[in-house]
Amino acid sequence: PSLSAILNCDDFEEVASRTLNKKTWAFYSSAATDCVTKRANRSFFERIWWRPRILRNVSRVSTKTRMLGHDIGAPFFVSPAAMATLVHPEGEKAIARGCAVERIPQCISTNASYRVEEIVPTAPKGHPFYFQLYVNKDRSQSEALLEQVYKAGISAVFVTVDAPVPGKREDDERVTADESLSTPMSGAKAKNDKKGGGLGRIMGSYIDASLNWDDLAWLRRSWKGKIVLKGVQSAADAKMAADAGVEGIILSNHGGRSLDTSPPAVMVLLECQRCCPEIFDRIEVYVDGGIRRGTDVLKCLCLGATAVGMGRPFLFALNYGQDGIEHLIDTLKDELETSMKLLGITDLSKVHPGLVNTLDVDHL
Ligand code: FNR
């Protein structure tokens, strides 16, 4: 179908399910074991209701905000996802060009199909890019990579902490991987083995499972920019992260791809509101996992998030190249503007927890 027939994230996903090759679909869509968390990431939003306000002159609204020191066009960003050339030859470069139009930040994965220095120049100077780091067992490799990233002009690194080992993604294991696949920044090459062809697993063996809180000191020495921990899954760790002095955290369960039955990220956001509300004044808090609608974005902001990330939607939209990315962003931004108007706010500085009704989940 043409882009004009694509009205939302699910439409992109439906087209992808029919047109992507079997392996790409398996890798992108899969999640850990019974996929409970993947489903809950979405369905949890149905348990949070609005408290809309009326008669607020909403003829004009703005979705502009700030993230990690950048002005951005809307409060959502591209979560880091591996190997975008599986769906489109221009991969992360096409995502960058599409994001540049509305100043949507893009976080580039360690497992991206291109190197940062190939991706960054495709967007105008000053475009907000971030880099996602998987810490290598060989720390000197991570140090060299961080230097390369800083030289490319990137000022914040998202260190993934929810995947010391890959989750068991069975749909992906069942389909054999093309052994010519490799990712330039990690240096990993695909090799099927007796467990199967799960790409996250067979290309992730360089990741250091020994990573721990003490390593933040090493990271500070090796990286001059801001640090965000990606994959915080409890209020206790959100508080530890703030105390450790990082600039931000992403409440995330890796899109349900790591530990199955981990709580949906928004449930953790609610837990933070209840158990450590002071962190929201100390660090920036982001959320990703299952965000597919303007209402999802806005609910997270009301509950204290600075912005939210999306993984799979950008990969599925990339099926249509740069045009798909632009269309996805326009669609989400439009849904967000409509939601803001119907909720009764005109700019994002007006969000607050009183605009959502969480009675259905407050007993959790
Ligand atoms: C991911 N994710 C991910 N995260 C990360 O820190 N480094 C990575 O290389 C990847 N790679 C990756 C590949 C694919 C195919 C997917 C779907 C996801 C997780 C990603 O950043 C994000 O947390 C989730 O995708 C968010 O969930 P949704 O938006 O996909 O539901």
What pLDDT score was predicted for residue 340? 98
The answer to whether residue 70 is catalytic is no
- Say if residues 191 and 90 touch (Cβ distance below 8 Å): no
Q: Work out the burial of residue 12: count CB atoms within 10 Å of its CB; fewer than 13 is exposed, 13-18 middle, 19 or more buried.
A: buried
Q: Is the pLDDT confidence value at 75 over 80?
A: yes
Tell me which of 254, 314, 318 to substitute to probe ligand 1's pocket, judged by most ligand atoms within 8 Å of the beta carbon.
Answer: 254
Ligand 1 geometric centre to CA of 3 (Å)? 24
What pLDDT score was predicted for residue 290? 98
- Say if residues 99 and 106 touch (Cβ distance below 8 Å): yes
* Half-sphere exposure of residue 176: CA atoms within 13 angstroms, side-chain side: 6
How far apart CA 335 and CA 240 sit, in angstroms, is 35
Residue 71 pairs in a beta bridge with 66
Inter-CA distances, 228 with 166, 247, 258, 333, 359, Å? 20, 6, 19, 25, 31
Share of the chain above pLDDT 90, in %: 99
Ligand 1 geometric centre to CA of 151 (Å)? 25
- Residues 251-261: what's their mean pLDDT? 98
How far apart CA 131 and CA 142 sit, in angstroms, is 12
Give tens-digit pLDDT for 24-54.
Answer: 999 999 999 999 999 999 999 999 999 999 9
Q: Is the pLDDT confidence value at 364 over 90?
A: no
Who lines ligand 1 at CB under 6 A? 27-28, 41, 79-82, 109, 111, 132, 160, 230, 252, 254-255, 257, 288-291, 310-312, 315
What pLDDT score was predicted for residue 363? 82
How far apart CA 220 and CA 227 sit, in angstroms, is 8
- Say if residues 114 and 80 touch (Cβ distance below 8 Å): no
